[in-house]
Amino acid sequence: MSVSELQELEQRWLMPTYRRAAVEFVRGEGARLWDAEGREYLDFFSGLGVQNAGHCHPRITEAIREQAGILVGVSNLYYSEPGIRLAERLADSSLGGRVFLCNSGAEANECAIKLARRHAHARRIEQPEIVVLEGAFHGRTVATLAASPKIARDDLFGPLPAGFRAVDRDAAAALEAAVGERTAAVMIEPIQGEAGVHPVPDPVLAAARKACDSTGALLVLDEIQTGMGRTGSLWAWQQGPVRPDVMTAAKALGGGLPVGACVTAPQLEDALKAGEHGSTFAGAPLAASAALAALEVIDEPSLLRGARELGARFTAGLRELDGIAEVRGRGLMVGAGLEDGLDPAAIASRALAAGLVINVPAPGTLRFLPPLVIGEAEVDEAVAILGRCIGP
Ligand code: PLP
């Protein structure tokens, strides 16, 4: 079937929620993708930060194949080992408390929001509030939408749930002032991805931690895009000044399958009780086996070091290019602010035509999220292609 035939079917059958480029990908391996006509691409987007281990990593593929032939899913009303082992692996690698498994980033954040509100009610806060940062993106369900000032359109989707307050991303004092007796949680992406790869300044993170400690509010870090090695450590907060009380993960966690998780610190072990939360597919053996394999591949010192070193090589290469005004990010989560007058969408589509998959998250910005398994040659190849594509 040709792309134009797919477009016709899409127009007939799918809700028009996405603007797609006219390319059909049919195969992937490592950092490479192939389209239906056999053309090869270098993937610097990883399915929006999902394929951190590269496409079809043999260990993940094998884990999926093996588990698919044994048991795909059972209800959470019975036991199955992979989901429980995944929870142990996640807690051991991060906050040491308990884990709720789910199927996406938005669901992981929904769990964190419910948990923070539940914890606040246990502290006799009747109208709990969650403080978020301007520019934040936490998902597209109704509650996570309300937590995402960038897209929280009351005129389109209202009434949105009350109880969220947004403060300036870069203002530590404003954040501290916004946290008070009613605050259930402060929820932050360590680096705002959808806003255009904007690292939250260390003083803001430190102010959030301090304000939470003095009021009893929870610090929730959304590691859905920054986690799973993306910034050069398994979780981004491990390179920063603060440790959260709650962390959410998804995207690359499932090695390509839909897996999310909300992880707590030990003191929150009992925050949610039996019957207070749940999800039919969550923690099912197939998805959990894929996630365990993804963690095995990614939580590996040499791969994480590589992400930091290759990130440094890539950002240095970008800084040499004409038309780039600013380079932001950490590890292999990189954003480039373009000089005025340059059109990022035109540049991304020229790059695609030249065989490089990149993304435009926000006006004037290019975003790069390559698989962590790339090498120096792929970094240099991407910089060379961009050098030919960036221009008016
Ligand atoms: N939080 C962050 C930081 C994200 O980048 C995303 C998705 O881009 C989400 C939450 C929502 O994740 P999902 O699309 O899996 O629901």
Task: Report the nearest atom of ligand 1 relative to the CA of 193.
Answer: 5
Quote the pLDDT of residue 186: 98
CB 115 within 8 A of CB 271: yes
What pLDDT does 121 receive?
97
Threshold 0.95, pTM exceeds: yes
Three-state SS annotation for the chain: CCHHHHHHHHHHHCCCCCCCCCCCEEEEEECEEEECCCCEEEECCHHHHCCCCCECCHHHHHHHHHHHCCCCCCCCCCCCHHHHHHHHHHHHCCCCCCEEEECCHHHHHHHHHHHHHHHHHHCCCCCCEEEEECCCCCCCCHHHHHCCCCCCCHHHHCCCCCCEEEECCCCHHHHHHHCCCCEEEEEECCEECCCCCEECCHHHHHHHHHHHHHHCCEEEEECCCCCCCCCCCCCHHHHCCCCCCEEEECHHHHECECCEEEEECHHHCCCCCCCCCCCCCCCCHHHHHHHHHHHHHHCCHHHHHHHHHHHHHHHHHHHCCCCEEEEEEECCEEEEEECCCCCHHHHHHHHHHCCEECECCCCCEEEECCCCCCCHHHHHHHHHHHHHHCCC
Mutate to test the pocket of ligand 1, among 107, 194, 224, 333 (most ligand atoms within 8 A of CB): 224
Domain spans, the chain: 3-57+300-389, 71-298
**Residue 250 CB less than 6 A away from ligand 1:** yes
The third-level CATH classification (topology) of the domain covering 3-57+300-389 is Aspartate Aminotransferase, domain 1 (3.90.1150)
Q: What are the 10-residue block averages of pLDDT along the chain, 392 residues in total?
A: 96 97 98 98 98 98 98 96 98 98 98 98 97 98 96 94 97 97 98 98 98 98 98 98 98 98 96 96 97 98 98 98 98 98 97 98 98 98 98 81
Q: Would you say the CB of residue 314 lies under 6 angstroms from ligand 1?
A: no
For residue 7, report the distance from its CA to the centre of ligand 1, in Å.
26
User: Does domain 71-298 match CATH 3.40.640.10?
Assistant: yes
Mutate to test the pocket of ligand 1, among 46, 251, 253, 262 (most ligand atoms within 8 A of CB): 251
